[in-house]
A and B are shown apart, each in its own frame.
Chain A
């Protein structure tokens, strides 16, 4: 942390309060005090909290930022870009794959010179998914042309967020700014912090929104933004941007000086801890540097001249400051929470080395270590080990191993994984009890299934021992569906609860082959799997039965961010099934709203209060969207109507084998985030069907059939009979929200009538 107020002895001009808060809380507080116009966002751990906190603060009237839930990070970056083009003040927050998904937009934002602020809560990017902290996402941002500030503590997160906007909007800069801080270590750990009591202090520090730059908001000044160029012109645009980015360092220094006078907290370009006479030093980004400072004190007590360097800014890279900090240092170890594979050292190693190369006198021995990836803890002992390596290099006068990993272990050969169960495939999953026959006249399928009791003879596709919450509706829904599928399956699970709880390395709850891919791209990935399988079969290279059903499993979140991929797959009509378990929210990241969340329902980003009453718009009708792609079979189902679901699964399999793409939506309960009793899962789903919120139907070769009509059976219940089960909808039953309930009822009724019409009419 920068010096505490007491230590600087400076009288701060503005009144401040003490709080106990995490990095994400401080980012949200700064944003609320700034009162940005727009935040476009998409939930991703560990940055998601910022949008959630801002939603809660908005309910309390603490800001008036328009919070726009995008369909994915690419969309969120688009929203932010559009808003910044209008001259608005714009905020975004993301992590890891979220940054990767919006990466394409970042050079556009900087290259067209529209300022904004992005909180990058750093997290691992990797093949095997890891949701914990490291700097592999941050390193991808290095070439985007954004200013990059680092915040080692929750206090710094607050301070940097305030400074960031001022720097971004400065006439000499006019560039977007990233404030990067460590996922979980800084984003989630609560510390004692100070913040301005009055938001007007923050707002007057940053100043008025600059209006003297090109923007798209004023029809009196028509401009063209984003014309394309050739190299002769682009070189000049790039040069302008390069110069602006270098100027950002001087602007940072100036803004930090002003901020120190206001707050009493100083942020130099380089945070130097006991470096004045240091002979051995560590160069570390963010939270790890703090841990290392304790070790420096310990080593200093033993007479070892140790120090730590940690930059507060890495774009522009403070090369000059680093050269001067390292003048007397005999050995430096650069510890990095990410690698630049194949480059003989990660990014900071090369940038520090290249800074030193320009100092002909410099004799510092540089070691480089990759450590602490994927949230692997960095203990004081680890910092000590780093210093030991540096001391050894100093004493020997050379680095035995300039670049290496730290903290990796070989493992014991006897622990190597081997299969624990006999592979189950083919006949193991065939009962022969399910019959599907095409009816030549109606062009539809006839399905006969045995009593479900007989189907218990078929093993479940998933093994017990998965880590879902008690009462989770995902697995009963999926297993009932799989009951109707005979023979082998190859499944792809998109990111979401079902994947996370069933495939936590080194454990798997899958009996047959399971693949995970990120949830914006699962359908395309499965398309590739299917086509490769049949092409290799066609060439006679694959000697396995072709009796395989390809299934993609996704949540409703995956059908938001992955909608494009799913529609593309459906339009190409690959022979596969997309099965969606819909729990009406992004439950895996902490119950943020999805487009499937019904209107008025409470989630962690659609709170209920005076200014807002749950989600503002109606739930997405995904089955109808998918039906519009004219795939052979679309259906809905739930565990509360098991025979109905098993029959539909059997049909789905037939169509996926013979004709093309199938899409099915299962409504499932999430007791944790629906705030409902675990034991009532089945009743809740039954009520959803009987209130006509979730009609059971199928669209077979374009023909809609309602497979369970509660009106016909005289079982229709009012919508409130479903809503009463759930804490997330309790407010809808209150007198003051009658209009809202009515609006939801009308929409449910409209969709139900539309279905009825389609059911009755062959051409609809």
Chain B
């Protein structure tokens, strides 16, 4: 009897986790894979996108399972997974998180929103959408998002044994953090239990989500020799708002004394200043707002502010877009539009 419900040409059941650095998707991937390999005796492999990715930047974790007698020789990233776990909902804005999903695949999303909204944003035609408020659970239990997501993923991968996973959690935490055992078990169980499903049945001839291997913007005929960049400052076209993990600073202009304390400590140059005239008619610099495109939500500015003009707030979808004050960069005429996100 095969253990795996379905497999691809090479005999693999494949899972891809989409996250940002710091949420623990890497560890969740490892634990999922171990549950299959060491727990059920499957063959498997697990790895993540590598590099010097920093906290808050998009990362992927990959899990391949196959029956014990199948050899795993592929090293390449998973392009057409059976299951996708989205740990950070805002990712869909910058990453095609459901790329390559098979027609009857399952996407588990960490979200509080309705099925219809998520389906629209992910542009998901067919397959099963599984939604779990992993962040909510983690906040309530004072644990981490990845354990709640792991619970939901175990529900989806019903060939895995959730009891064995709880044992692993118990063992992992009891060594160093015995007081965290119960809350983590609860987090896992709640993720398992609270995940909700909606299936959009694929017609017989349905094709999975297409996937594309991104080509580099530049090639050997268009790269400057030696890897030189001539578009200095083009990182301003990047959008880093996906790095925020639920919080951002809100600025109240009337309380601001323009003391620069926020600007002095901001790692991401989010504060926008403009020359104006003060009450006595003298030229003076004034803070005009926050460019949220670059704000990673570290909240150092909130701590630095001496007057409560900056307040930490749970981010509501759309707030940053509506309240962003954009930097005025001296853009060159004819500068490449393709660079803009």
Contact = CB atoms under 8 A, between A and B. Distances in A.
A422 interface: yes
A189 B54 contact: no
Given A189-B45, A290-B73, A469-B55, A453 B294 contact: no
A680 B240 CA distance: 21
A31 B41 CA distance: 27
A512 B232 contact: yes
Contacts of B121: none
Contacts of A20: 33-34, 37-38, 44, 46
A465 B232 contact: no
A465 B265 contact: no
Contacts of B1: none
B335 to A, nearest CB: 4
Contacts of B270: 464
Contact of A453 (B258, B330, B338): B258
Contact of B303 (A46, A411, A422, A679): A679
A505 interface: yes
Contact of B222 (A131, A415, A469): A415
A620 interface: no
Contacts of B57: 467
A639 interface: yes
B335 A409 contact: no
Interface string A467-500: 1111111111001100000000000000001001
Contact of B336 (A131, A185, A420, A588): A420
B153 interface: no
Contact of A511 (B232, B297, B303, B336): B232
A415 B338 contact: yes
Nearest to B37: A20
Interface stretch (B90-98, B101-109, B123-131, B211-219): B211-219
B4 interface: no
A512 B230 CA distance: 11
Contacts of A680: 300, 303
B317 interface: no
Given A463-B233, A480-B264, A190 B45 contact: yes
B238 interface: yes
B72 A456 contact: no
A377 interface: yes
A678 B267 CA distance: 11
A464 B51 contact: no
A457 B272 CA distance: 10
A480 B299 CA distance: 19
Given A128-B227, A453-B259, A507-B234, A419 B332 contact: yes
Contact of A418 (B215, B275, B304, B335): B335
B260 interface: yes
B254 interface: no
B232 A291 contact: no
B268 A475 contact: yes
A421 B221 contact: no
B231 A420 contact: yes
A504 to B, nearest CB: 8
Contact of A464 (B38, B243, B294): B294
Given A20-B34, A294-B73, A453 B230 contact: no
B211 to A, nearest CB: 12
Contact of B221 (A182, A413, A683): A413
A468 B267 contact: yes
Report the contact-size class of chain A (Cβ under 8 Å from the partner): 35 or more
Given A191-B72, A507-B234, A682-B300, A469 B51 contact: no
Interface string A362-406: 000000000000010111100000000000000000000000000
A497 B55 CA distance: 12
A452 B230 CA distance: 32
Nearest to B221: A410
Contact of B267 (A131, A293, A471, A672): A471
Nearest to A7: B69
A295 B307 CA distance: 66
Contacts of B200: none
Nearest to A420: B335
A465 B230 contact: no
B300 A678 contact: yes
B199 interface: no
A460 interface: yes
Nearest to A673: B55
A379 B44 CA distance: 18
Contacts of B73: 290-291, 293-294
Q: Name the residue in B21, B74, B215, B234 with the highest tally of chain A Cβ atoms < 10 Å from its Cβ.
A: B234
B235 to A, nearest CB: 3
B336 A471 contact: no
A510 B335 CA distance: 16
A185 B73 CA distance: 11
A508 B226 CA distance: 15
B247 to A, nearest CB: 9
A184 interface: yes
Contacts of A501: 54
Nearest to B41: A18
A8 to B, nearest CB: 14
Contacts of A710: none
B65 to A, nearest CB: 11
A186 B45 CA distance: 11
B31 to A, nearest CB: 10
Interface string B298-341: 11101110000000100000000000000101111011101100
Interface in A126-156: 127-128, 131-132
Given A20-B34, A189-B47, A680-B303, A463 B273 contact: no
Contact of B230 (A419, A454, A473): A419
Contacts of A623: none
A468 B56 CA distance: 8
Contact of A131 (B43, B51, B221, B298): B51
A510 B264 CA distance: 19
B265 A476 contact: yes
Contacts of A128: 226-227
A266 B87 CA distance: 42
A342 to B, nearest CB: 16
A262 B285 CA distance: 76
A456 B230 contact: no
Contact of B334 (A418, A462, A467): A418
Contact of B75 (A378, A460, A467, A513): A378
A656 B243 CA distance: 38
A502 interface: yes
A290 B75 contact: yes
A452 B45 CA distance: 54
A756 interface: no
Nearest to B226: A127
B42 to A, nearest CB: 8
Contacts of A508: 229, 231-235
A411 B269 contact: no
Given A127-B227, A192-B44, A415-B217, A464 B269 contact: yes
Nearest to B247: A679
A21 to B, nearest CB: 10
A678 B74 CA distance: 39
23 contacts: A20-B33, A20-B44, A20-B46, A184-B50, A192-B43, A290-B73, A378-B75, A408-B220, A410-B220, A412-B222, A415-B336, A415-B338, A417-B218, A420-B332, A464-B269, A464-B294, A465-B236, A465-B294, A476-B267, A505-B229, A506-B217, A639-B265, A678-B299
Interface of A: 1, 18-20, 22, 45-46, 127-128, 131-132, 182, 184-186, 188-192, 287-288, 290-291, 293-294, 375, 377-380, 408-413, 415-424, 452-457, 460, 462-476, 479-480, 497, 500-503, 505-514, 588-589, 639, 642, 671-672, 678-683
Those 3 A-B pairs whose CB atoms lie nearest each other, nearest first: A411-B219, A465-B235, A128-B227
Given A190-B47, A463-B235, A506-B234, 9 more contacts: A188-B50, A409-B220, A415-B336, A417-B229, A454-B285, A465-B237, A467-B54, A500-B52, A513-B232
